[in-house]
Each structure stands twice: as C-alpha cells, then as structure tokens.
Chains A and B, each alone.
Chain A
Amino acid sequence: GAGVSQSPSNKVTEKGKDVELRCDPISGHTALYWYRQSLGQGLEFLIYFQGNSAPDKSGLPSDRFSAERTGGSVSTLTIQRTQQEDSAVYLCASSNGFSYEQYFGPGTRLTVT
C-alpha cells in the first residue's frame, strides 16, 4: 500500500510569510508525528497526534508553529511569520496502535529567504 506522503516536497518562502505543510499518513494509522531535521540540530520531535488530538504541544519551537489533524487522517503543520531559522526539512511519520513502529514520509524542505 501507499506510504506516508508529504506536500510540497520543496517550499521557498520569504521571511514573514505563513506556510502550510501537509502530511498524509498510511491508511489506518492512528498516530501521526511531526519532526524537524536541520543541519545543526539533527532530528527534533515536534508534536504527535493520537487520532485528532495532540496531548502535548510543548515540543513546538514557538507559538508561531501550530498543527492540526482532521478526520484522523491528514495533518497540516502551519508556520506563521516564518523566520530564517525555520529553514529545515520537516518530516512526518505515522504508526499503528500496536507496535508503534514509525514510518516516515520523504519530507518537505523549507527554505526561508
């Protein structure tokens, strides 16, 4: 079956603009995760959803970041008023409610100019 998909694959935006990143998990996976991978920081966990709810939002880097998930499926990560330090690859993963093995999408490379 289809794996985790993310769109867009690349996004270049000007500083101060808002961006939306989309993640489509593997069908039937109840848990969905967002991570950020940047050169200096490695892979950093941002937020996870169990169904449509996110129990803990403390991993989001600032209040400019928000995420939602609707219908237990697609999720969007929104970054408002982007800054240059937001430039990174944003990765999404999903897992079932049994093994919790996480499967990753190809990522969205965000460049803020």
Chain B
Amino acid sequence: KQEVTQIPAALSVPEGENLVLNCSFTDSAIYNLQWFRQDPGKGLTSLLLIQSSQREQTSGRLNASLDKSSGRSTLYIAASQPGDSATYLCAGASGGGADGLTFGKGTHLIIQP
C-alpha cells in the first residue's frame, strides 16, 4: 500500500526566496505523481503531473522532480510571492492510472510580504 509523507509540515519564508517542498513515497511502482495547491476553504488545484517515465516537469516558476528509485519528489518554487501562500499536497497513483491518489498531509506555506 502506497504511503506518502511530506516534509516540512509548515514553512514560512520571506517573499522572493526560492524554496523546496519535499515528498516521499513507499511504492516505487508509482504510476504518476501529482502536486496540488489548496487555498483555505477551497478545492484542490492541480499544479504539475509527473508520469513515472519522466524525471521532471516545469510550469512557470514551479519545477517538480521525480526519483522513483529513492521514492522522492520535490517541488521547487522560484522567486516566491505572497500569492503562493497555500497548502501544497503531493499525491501518488499506484497500479493503473485510473486508481485513486494517495495523498500526503501537505505542507502549509506562508510567504511573508
């Protein structure tokens, strides 16, 4: 059974800094890994999807990597802005692509203006 862990649970940094959020998973037969952000009282917004055959994906100031052999993924946020403040969730799908996602408990990120 897939287990997903996210470190740190909370992070507060000044605006403009580059930062890295970490995610680890136990099942290396992961099908894909998805990063989301969740704003208070809202649903989840998909940020990046990395297929098992890929090593990284980029979207704007975000870059996510996947290392199946070590069971790790990282989300890199460049030049952080106050609008980046949210909870960031990492989730993995095992087995076939239509299986449900297993989520970590998230990293609560605060960017100080």
Contacts and interface: CB of A to CB of B under 8 A. Distances in A.
Size band of the interface chain B makes with A: 20 to 34
A102 B43 contact: no
Interface in A88-104: 91, 93, 95, 97, 99-104
A72 interface: no
Contacts of B45: 104
A107 B43 CA distance: 6
Given A91-B44, A100-B32, A104-B43, 10 more contacts: A33-B100, A35-B101, A48-B100, A91-B43, A95-B98, A100-B31, A100-B97, A101-B34, A102-B101, A104-B46
B99 to A, nearest CB: 7
A110 interface: no
A56 B35 CA distance: 25
Contacts of B98: 31, 48, 50, 95, 97, 100
Interface string A40-73: 0011011110100000000100000000000000
A95 B97 CA distance: 10
B85 interface: no
Contacts of A107: 42-43
Size band of the interface chain A makes with B: 20 to 34
Interface of A: 31, 33, 35, 42-43, 45-48, 50, 59, 91, 93, 95, 97, 99-107
Contacts of B63: none
Interface of B: 31-32, 34, 36, 42-46, 49, 51, 89, 91, 93, 97-106
Contacts of A35: 100-101
B101 A101 contact: no
A45 B102 contact: yes
Given A42-B105, A99-B49, A99-B51, A104 B44 contact: yes
